[in-house]
Amino acid sequence: MIGQLEQLLGQLDTLLARAIEELGPINTSADLDDWDTRYLGRNRGELKSLSSVMPKLSKEERPVVGQKINEVKKELERHLKEKREELKQRELMLALEQERIDVTLPGRALPAGTMHPISRTIQEVTDIFVRMGFSVLQGLEVENDYHNFQALNIPTDHPARDMQDTFWIAPGEVLLRTQTSPMQIRTMEQYQPPIRVVVPGKVYRNEDIDATHEAMFHQIEGLLIDEVCTMADLKGCLERFAHEMFGPERRLRFRGSYFPFTEPSAEVDISCGLCNGKGCRSCKYSGWLEVLGSGMVHPNVLRNVGYDPKKYRGFAFGMGVERIAMLKYGIGEIRLFSGNDLRFLRQL
Ligand code: FA5
């Protein structure tokens, strides 16, 4: 029996030595789990199978073997714990190494977009008028015949309708607005004087396209209504705008004109900045570029919105945004604005 005891204790020592030796090269948690099951596993672990001889031992032998089993178990558990800790550290270091971020690397630059020159021009123009006390409103691109024509003193069959070739949606009733002037009517319908507004937006005309004409372009409408207002106020206001927008050296020219909704009416030209008024291809060798229509609001228009023309008067203007941008940036071709050519847009 003594021989069997010694043999058993020897087997336990061998098992411990073998387990520790096998533990050395293990370097993944999965392999370590296998090792754990193989030696310490509750069901089929090697230590468990050696313990199964216990009932066959004598009373004296049992405590000796039991104590040895406990020592081996504790030793295996200690090694397991150390190895787990070591693997955890190693896996952490590996993850840190693989996921390392070099914070000193320069960032990847995203191509930055900028405002379209037309949007920027609208912003610059409206800012100037806001500084003069005007508010900014938005209008509708799909209008009705009443607001685009009739209320603006352009009845059906009036020859002035031919001045702007219209894109009709429902002929005689609904259309793509040909001008921002319908917003004069909508503003006066909604508010009481004093009124000072500017209204930027798209307008549409069924026109032949060339270097200075588009079928879709932008206008900015201006409207001022008060008890006291004269043509001199209109001129002063537009001159102030032109000097702020283009510089004090630029000149304005008022030419008598005709619009059914203003009386008197004037078209306003600005001296060409490309040739300094000497004449070039862009200004058709005249030295001037037409940028807006304007005038004193017609009494019929005031009556149409229920204002008393004896009490109130006002001025209105409508400027072409593309023409302003052409003047500002020295561009001789209007179609570049809607051409979506990034080489052109990046230059500005
Ligand atoms: C009008 O549209 C009037 N509603 C302006 C107005 C408002 C007059 C208030 C009086 C009172 P006109 O058709 O001239 O007017 O156009 C005004 C401006 O828009 C022109 O001076 C020009 O700068 C621009 N414009 C006109 N047609 C085109 C076009 N096809 N392409 C680009 N710009 C244009």
**Distance, C-alpha 33 to centroid of its chain:** 53
Please tell me the total count of domains within the chain. Answer: 2
Domain co-membership, 123 together with 93: no
| Domain end marker among 40, 69, 98 | 98
Domain co-membership, 94 together with 121: no
Query: Given this model, what pLDDT does residue 320 score?
Result: 95
Residue at 108 is within a domain: no
Domain of residue 248: give its range. 117-347
- Cβ–Cβ < 8 Å for 284, 276: no
Domain co-membership, 309 together with 271: yes
Residue at 107 is within a domain: no
The rounded Å distance from CA 14 to ligand 1 centre is 103
Which residues approach ligand 1 with their CB closer than 6 A? 164, 179, 181, 205, 207, 213-214, 217, 219, 259, 262, 265, 290-295, 316-320, 322-323, 334
Domain co-membership, 19 together with 126: no
CATH of the domain at 144: 3.30.930.10
Residue at 316 is within a domain: yes
Straight-line distance from the first to the last Cα atom of the chain, in angstroms, rounded to the nearest whole number: 103
Query: Given this model, what pLDDT does residue 7 score?
Result: 84
Query: Given this model, what pLDDT does residue 56 score?
Result: 82
Residue at 111 is within a domain: no
Query: Given this model, what pLDDT does residue 2 score?
Result: 56
Q: Which residue minimizes the CA distance to atom 27 of ligand 1?
A: 213
Q: Which residue minimizes the CA distance to atom 30 of ligand 1?
A: 213
Domain co-membership, 171 together with 37: no
Domain co-membership, 9 together with 155: no
pTM, two decimal places: 0.72
Domain co-membership, 76 together with 170: no
| Domain end marker among 98, 133, 149 | 98
Domain co-membership, 67 together with 141: no
Domain co-membership, 281 together with 143: yes
Residue at 105 is within a domain: no
Residues in the chain, pLDDT under 70:
1-2
Residue at 340 is within a domain: yes
Domain co-membership, 129 together with 49: no
260-279 pLDDT tens trace: 999 999 999 998 877 888 88
Domain co-membership, 150 together with 90: no
Type of residue numbered 308: D
Is 322 assigned to a binding site?
no
Mean pLDDT, the chain, integer: 91
CA-323 nearest atom, ligand 1: 23
| Domain end marker among 68, 98, 128 | 98
Domain co-membership, 189 together with 78: no
The rounded Å distance from CA 176 to ligand 1 centre is 15
